[in-house]
Structure 1
Amino acid sequence: MTGLVAYATYLPRPRVRLPEIAATLGTGPAEGERVAASYDEDSTTMAVEAAARLLCTHQATPRAIYFATTSPAYLDKTNAAAIHAALALPQETFAADVIGSARSAFAAWRAARADGGLAVLADVRTGRPGSSDERFGGDGAVALLFGDSAAPIADVLAERSWSVEILDRWRLPGRQASDQWEERFGAETYLPLVRHAAEATLAAAGLDSADHVVVVSPNSGVRKQAMRAFATASTTPIGHSGAADFGLGLAAVLDRAEPGETILVLSAVDGCDALALRATDHLPAGRQRRTVAEQLDDGVVVPYATYLGWRGWLEREPPRRPEPGRPAGPPSARAVDWKFAFTGSVCSRCGFTHLPPVRVCKECGAVDEMQRRSLAGATGTVATYTVDRLAYSPSPPLIEAIVDFDGGGRYPLEVADARPGDLAVGTRVGLSFRRLFTAGGVHNYFWKARVLEPPGGSAGAGGGAA
């Protein structure tokens, strides 16, 4: 069996205030904020963000990608193939979906661990207005890389699973939100199983207790009771996040665990899955660059009405202009490297970078003397930008910038998660994989610029008000 070699997480920047939800719907008092994916994000784009962050810091080519989610952008089409393309991985790398329920995440974990591959877990938790999924859920992604490396950041000491058929949560195909039974019913089934799983897994690992205990479940009663039962218990910092839940909870612990400390993960979904791990001496050097806590603090509030529009619960008047055309298969296939991996061409004779790729050099006129260059992980500088208050956007105003990339290349891009004050000539930006629009049942994925260092200090804002 292989060890856990690296991990990385992605939390989208928009936040919805729970007091505003309570005031709007007349529900009970609430505190805090909900992490929400932006209008141009889905489980695929967030998975790309998490996986790209991992591969950027840990140079490796995974043998396979296993993508788990309860909110797939497509059915009857492999979503992991888009992630594979955006990461510019070799065609020989196997890519597959493991979708349907939150427990699919453990199937991805097991497959990646056995294969020395990459498990990518991502979810957009959509609940009816006022539901517990809306108030206490969260959107995010995590990537977990396994390998035969001599320097794993955590060793898996034991892994156990128990399955139970229970009708406590379900969603019919085509429905936008899940139905749930009264939480006490699920808690009565899950809690004895969670206690048994903890005892059996610790015994299998040769441990009396664990330094850190992570308990996740869509059932809030299970989470509350487990927090009382285990002195060192924690849960996912953003609330229940579907297939990403146990991975985000584990990542938050890896962000702060010390070498030699043990971690027990318990996930109560359609049974109980349990993991016992021990952090190694390589963990401090192998931590992700931005912790879950840092990403959680780096948010910007969006109005509740804006969020409802993003999720389709509030239908607003569409723009009075022609609908965009559906992306077609043949041209998308011809431009897959450009569209998904932001791959340009570099002239072998003069070194000029072309975006998008071309056959004839604009600088020296050389023909078919090009080398491919993916700029998906590149950074650049804003040469100029415009704030368009007339163009339609679910999060106006629409901001576009001309970006000069480090090492060559210039291209105009929409700026994601930004407000006008975040940009100036010279602002540093990176790239973010987003969904530009959906037309005719086809998602049009491409790249947007993302502010790295906004003028005046903190990391940029996002999710502007409607």
Structure 2
Amino acid sequence: MFGIVGYGSYLPYWRLDRAAITSVLGSGGGRGTRSVAGYDEDTTSMGVEAARVAMRAVPDSWQPNLLAFATTAPGYLDKTNATAIHAALRLDASVGAFDAGASCRSGIGAAWMAQAAGGLAVLSDIRTGRPGSSDESAGGDAAVALAFGPDPIAVPVASASSTAEFIDRWRVPGEAYSRQWEERFGEHAYVPLATDAVTDVLKQAELTIDQIDKVIVTGVHARAVRAVTGRLGARSDAVVDDLAGSVGNTGAAHWALLLAGVLDEAEPDQHVLVVHLADGCDAWLLRTTEQLVGDRPRRSTTLAEQLAAPTGSLDAASFMTWRGFLEREPPRRPEPDRPAAPPSLRGTAWKYGFVGAQDDGGFVHLPPGRVSVGSGAIDEMTPVPMADRAATIATFTIDRLAFSLAPPVVAAIVDFDGGGRMQVELTDVDPDAVAIGDRVEMTFRRLYTVDGIHNYFWKARPVRGGS
């Protein structure tokens, strides 16, 4: 049976203080902060970042048999979003890439699909709501990737589902926010479904709730989650904090985000129960193994390290602008042209995988070329993946007139470790704090969207805590 062999979590750099919502709208808000995807991020780009962390934690010999991607906020409809993640990870063409639906429940489905096949599940979500709503303040943005294969660090013990059709939360195509039925009804519907699923899982495993080391209960219906948590009867020290005060509820990715945090600190032979409420209840029981203390790393960036890393404070006006609820006057410069499909296909390795070319003299060409600038040799280049190489800022400029949803644009010339120099745009950065000699790392982003086509490429950001 395949189990989890590696995982990765990704929290975006930006945080919105919920009190800022109240100060602008006079209502909504609340206490604490929520995570916010940057203006140049979407669920696809965040999924790439989480998957890169997971791929650094798996055994060197591991390769996925498929890639399953789940989100409630896809960048495309009709077109498969998972293929961009596939290209950015430089996976073999024989590896299938599939979108697993657009509901909160699709996250657990993607994980079970990947577990059955020995693949990679990528769960990513951007949660929003009408300005001033509880969805806006209580939501959060994040991504998680789970890699499945032999010799796992966590093996599935039992699983169960309890499904029912009822109107709890819904959003029709084209709408920017969800609607929700009265909360007492949700509690009434979810509690018996969760009771059935958890009872079934514990019976399969021949365990009692007191024997479970960690219990994760999630769902976008807060009242139902609280009610189910209370009814389970788990030990108080076993119930996992839901990060409501610092991150918010990250929808389809949330149960996996909490699971990543548990695995970061877990010891061998512990039982972890996941209870996910969405159009029913899915319960999943895992047991950690001795592989947690093996020679290979189980992760490269922990959730705790990301929570402790420096973050950017976002104002409510910028948040609403990035979410599309506030249309502001852009800089008076021409908007970018639509990305063309043929050159994008020809340059997939560079555009998505960030693969350069190295000549026989060791010079790294960025972007890759056919002719060596040193020897003049033609078509004698070696592909060089650059996405995981750090770099140093050689010089930079701050452009306050260039088109951007978050001006000013910071452009820099960077020198990569091991060779290679190019101009990149910096992101997740304070323009006033940039300095020559700063260390940066590459991150997959959405540069812009024109005529419904997303232009994905790589930017640089300051090296973050835990990277």
- Whether TM exceeds 0.5 here: the answer is yes
CA distance in 1, matches of 2:73, 2:364: 37
Query: In the alignment, what sits opposite 2:332?
Result: 320
Letter in 1 for 2:369: V
State yes or no: 1:248 paired with 2:257: yes
| Cα separation, 1, equivalents of 2:271 and 2:185 | 32
RMSD: 1.6
Deviations 1:406-447 (A, max 9, x none): 111111000110012442222111100000000011000000
Partners of 1:37 and 1:399 in 2: CA distance? 19
Tell me, what secondary structure is at the counterpart of 1:234? coil
Deviations 1:223-251 (A, max 9, x none): 22234343322254233212112111211
DSSP 3-state at the match of 1:113? helix
Aligned residue number for residue 170 of structure 2: 170
Q: Which amino acid aligns with 1:116?
A: G
1:62 alignment partner, SS class: coil
Structure 1 residues 42-121: aligned runs within 5 Å: 42-58=42-58, 59=60, 60-121=62-123
Q: Is 1:305 the counterpart of 2:305 in the alignment?
A: no
Q: In structure 1, which of residues 350, 355, 368 is the aligned counterpart of residue 366 of structure 2?
A: 355
Corresponding residue for residue 200 of structure 1 = 200
Separation in 2 of the partners of 1:214 and 1:459?
24
Letter in 1 for 2:325: W
3-state DSSP class of the match of 2:100?
strand
In the alignment, what sits opposite 1:234? 240
Aligned-pair CA distance for 1:201: 0.8
Paired with 2:48 and 2:23, the residues of 1 have a C-alpha distance of: 35
User: Is the Cα contact below 8 Å between 2:163 and 2:279 reproduced in 1?
Assistant: yes
Q: Where does residue 270 of structure 1 map in the other structure?
A: 279
Structure 2, unaligned stretches of length 5 or more? Answer: none
**AA matched with 2:343:** P
**Contact 1:5 1:147 survives alignment (8 Å):** yes
Q: Post-superposition shift, 1:74? A: 0.5
1:129 to 128, 131, 150: 131
What residue is the counterpart of 1:181 in the other structure? 181
SS at match of 1:16: strand
The reply to whether residue 398 of structure 1 matches residue 409 of structure 2 is yes
Greater shift, 134-143 or 222-231, is seen at 222-231
SS at match of 1:74: coil
Q: CA deviation at 1:312?
A: 0.5
Compute the displacement of 1:198 (Å). Answer: 1.7
Residue in structure 1 matched with residue 21 of structure 2 by the alignment: 21
Q: Deviations over 1:114-160 (max 9, x none)?
A: 10000000011121111222111110000000002x2x111111011
1:28 positional shift: 5.9
Give, in whole Å, the separation in 1 of the partners of 2:431 and 2:26.
Answer: 34
Cα displacement (A) at 1:387: 1.8
Counterpart-to-counterpart distance in 2, 1:131 and 1:249: 24
Structure 2 match to 1:369? 380
Moved more, 281-290 or 253-262: 281-290
SS in 2 for 1:233: coil
> Which shifted more, 134-143 or 228-237?
228-237
Amino acid in the other structure paired with 2:35: V
Aligned-pair identity (%): 49
Aligned with residue 268 of structure 2, among 248, 254, 259: 259
CA distance in 1, matches of 2:333, 2:435: 30
In 2, Cα distance between equivalents of 1:263 and 1:433: 32
Structure 1 segment 385-464 matched on structure 2, within 5 A: 385-452=396-463
Give the TM-score normalised by the residue count of structure 1.
0.94
Using the TM superposition, name which of 386-395 and 4-13 deviates more.
Answer: 386-395
Trace 1:219-230 onto structure 2 (pairs within 5 A): 219-229=221-231, 230=234
CA distance, structure 2, for counterparts of residue 2 and residue 203 of structure 1? 22
Q: Report the AA paired with residue 186 of structure 1.
A: G
Within 2, Cα distance between the matches of 1:363 and 1:57? 37
Cα displacement string for residues 311-343 of structure 1 (whole angstroms, at most 9, x for unaligned residues):
001110122222211111111111111100111
Tell me if 1:378 matches 2:389: yes
2:36 maps to which residue?
Answer: 36
Between the aligned partners of 1:322 and 1:202, the Cα distance in structure 2 is: 61
CA distance in structure 2 between the aligned counterparts of 1:29 and 1:382, rounded to whole angstroms: 38
Name the SS for the 1:447 alignment partner.
strand
> Residues of 1 paired with 2:104 and 2:273: CA distance?
18
Q: Distance in 1 between matches of 2:27 and 2:432?
A: 35
Contact 1:223 1:235 in 2 (8 A): no
What is the TM-score with the length of structure 2 in the denominator? 0.94
In the TM superposition, residue 297 of structure 1 has moved relative to its aligned partner by 3.0
Aligned partners of 1:142 and 1:79: how far apart in 2? 16
Alpha-carbon distance in structure 1 between the residues aligned to 2:31 and 2:175: 29
Q: How many angstroms apart in 1 are the aligned matches of 2:466 and 2:122?
A: 25
**Residue 290 of structure 2: SS of its match in structure 1?**
coil
In structure 1, what is the equivalent of residue 161 of structure 2?
161
* Contact 1:422–1:451 (8 Å) recurs in 2: no
Deviations 1:30-59 (A, max 9, x none): 210010100000000000000011112323
Equivalent residues of 2:193, 2:281 under 8 A apart: yes
Instruction: Write the letter of the residue equivalent to 2:240.
Output: S
Q: 2:149 aligns with which of 147, 150, 154?
A: 147
Shift of 1:23: 2.5
What per-residue deviation string (whole Å, max 9, x for no partner) do you get for residues 63-103 of structure 1? Answer: 11000111000011111100000011111111111121011
Q: Which consecutive unaligned segments of at least 5 residues does structure 1 have?
A: 461-466
Provide the rounded CA distance (Å) in 1 between the counterparts of 2:282 and 2:199.
13
Moved more, 259-268 or 315-324: 315-324
